[in-house]
Amino acid sequence: MMSVELIKHWQQQQLPIYLADELVQLMTDEKAIEDGFYQYLTFGTGGMRGILGAGTNRMNIYTIRRVTEGLARYISSNGEEAKKRGVAIAYDTRHFSYEFALETARVLGAHNITAYVYKEARPTPQLSYTVRELNAFAGVVITASHNPKQYNGFKVYGEDGAQLVPTGANAIIEHMNQISDIFEIEVADVTELEQQCLLQWILEDLDEKFMNRLLTLKNNNAIDYNMKLVYTPLHGAGLIPVVEGLKQFGFNEVHVVEEQAVQDGAFPTVVYPNPEEAAAFSMAIELGNEVGADILLATDPDADRLGVAVRKGNSYELLTGNQLGALLLNYILYTKQENGSLPSDGAMLKTIVTSELGTAIATHYGVTTVNTLTGFKYIAEKIAEFEMTKAHTYLFGYEESYGYLIETFARDKDAVQVALKVAEMAAYYSTKEKTLLDALEELYGKYGYYKEALVSKTFEGKDGQEQMKVILNNYRLNTPKEIAGIAVVRVEDYLTGIATLHEGTTEPILLPKENVLKFVLEDNSWIAIRPSGTEPKCKFYFGVVRDTEEKANEILARLKEDILSKQVLS
């Protein structure tokens, strides 16, 4: 259908009142109606994410039905056994998350595919674990992670508990493209599905099993169990497993930000429920000062990202994802070395836009660093590869955007695991009369001052997508020879899969193709540019290393000024 015909088709349907009312309002705004209907919401390798509302380019029960129909046809194409193994479904605390989870089960049930649905909101990493525990053929999480309240999303997992790889994702997309009318997609009755055991509710048994796996992370180091912690779930799904896990780890002084323990998709106490944002810690800081907490922990709504703030005098300093990743990596490798369990074939995984401090630490311990594209699905893919080839033993994986994974019973970034390990790590340093900031300063003193920055430029709507394409294309057509007066010695174009050195020679990039450019400078500084796969943003990453913090900050500022002042961004 053409866009005008499509809109008329929507107007002719018996929509839920809230969608019908919104559609009437959209008709008075030409730009809004175009953004809502110019395309079907994009489905990528991890799923889809978008603004809630009426339209084909919005998250609503009809776009949920469309993607689930594609998933159901994909599962059916894999035979009756795949349908019996079914799909595990979890959801966070966002608006319509429960409704979308139930709608997913109804579409699956219409295809006689079993759905295992959590009775309450649970973290994304717990869903990843559940897929493997139930031997399900696939998994779904209804979440938009750390996005604002206007968003929701649909993430798909394969039978290994990892986000779906491109082969499976492309098959789902192909099935979705064959759907001629989303309003004709069949959905089953919930009561009938329950009676036929095609809809099975899960909670307590899987909660207990997940907790038992979390407790395997605990080390027997001498640690300070009376260290004071503050935790906030930011109105999300992390509350129960994180608080219970800290308790079972043995921590006696865990203080929860009660106002943010309320599971509320409006996220009433924060603008962005994102632990990367300092503002998200304001209430945790207030409580931390009240109780004298040593560290503050915050998880995003689906509890796959963790933010940490450390007491510094009378205030708190928020660690970056790169800093926390380096601290965790060092602690894990040091601990394994001390107890004699550090393998000779160990590997650490990180993304191409993550700090090189982790590489330096891994090298010190004789551990191999393997880089992946941005997105934890690529880290999970490497974990599976290691298990199959026995090339390496996985030790730790992380990305700069506050995502980390320690043990592989989950195959996605896991803030629950990491919250427990960070508390243990901080309590270990506490017995040495050190904070995590002291430990970080020791790493800088040993390996150099690695400093990073991320600048995101927002490009909303259809026009914004075109602008981001122009930015990357301009950089390809006008590749800089130097940045901030420092020569570019290597250009990595992940879309073409070719790295070009300054003398003109080329090398293949042995990673999947993606629209990313990375410039490596002669002083080991680097800049990477990539459109976000989940948000309407173009991201600019910067990394430097110097022998002093002052020098590192100076060159970082110069690089940012040079790149962000370019006419290409105007």
**Following DSSP, what letter does each residue of 312-323 receive, concatenated?**
ETTEEEEPPHHH
pLDDT of the residue at 46: 74
d(CA 239, CA 209): 17
d(CA 162, CA 18): 35
Tokens at 306, concatenated = 């963790």
Domain 449-569: top CATH class: alpha beta
Q: Which helix (H) or strand (E) holds 128?
A: helix 124-133
Beta-ladder partners of 539: 456, 530
Domain 3-210: top CATH class: alpha beta
d(CA 252, CA 273): 27
d(CA 408, CA 391): 16
Q: What single letter denotes the amino acid at residue 301?
A: P
By the 10 Å C-beta count (0-12 exposed, 13-18 middle, 19+ buried), 488 is classed as buried
By the 10 Å C-beta count (0-12 exposed, 13-18 middle, 19+ buried), 140 is classed as buried
Beta-strand runs (E) in 479-536: 482-483, 486-493, 498-501, 506-508, 517-521, 526-531
pLDDT of the residue at 462: 67
Which residue from 426, 82, 481 is spatially nearest to 288, judged by alpha carbons? Answer: 426
Instruction: Give the CA angle between residues 438, 439, 444 to the nearest 5°.
Output: 95
Tokens at 393, concatenated = 């033993």
d(CA 514, CA 532): 11
> Do residues 85 and 136 make contact, with C-beta atoms less than 8 angstroms apart?
yes
Beta-ladder partners of 515: none
SS3 74: helix
pLDDT of the residue at 570: 43
Which residue from 236, 211, 201 is spatially nearest to 121, judged by alpha carbons? Answer: 236
- 145 flagged as catalytic: yes
d(CA 416, CA 163): 18
Which residue from 139, 144, 155 is spatially nearest to 202, judged by alpha carbons? Answer: 139
Fold category of 322-413 in CATH = Alpha-D-Glucose-1,6-Bisphosphate; Chain A, domain 3 (3.40.120)
Residues of the chain with CATH 3.30.310.50: 449-569
Q: Cα-Cα-Cα-Cα dihedral of 319, 321, 327, 328, to 10°?
A: 130
Tokens at 562, concatenated = 């040079």
Ranges in the chain, pLDDT < 50 = 1-2, 567-570
Radius of gyration of the chain (CA): 24
pLDDT of the residue at 480: 93
Q: Which of 97, 145, 401, 525 is catalytic?
A: 145
Residues of the chain with CATH 3.40.120.10: 3-210, 322-413
pLDDT of the residue at 284: 98
Q: Which helix (H) or strand (E) holds 222?
A: none
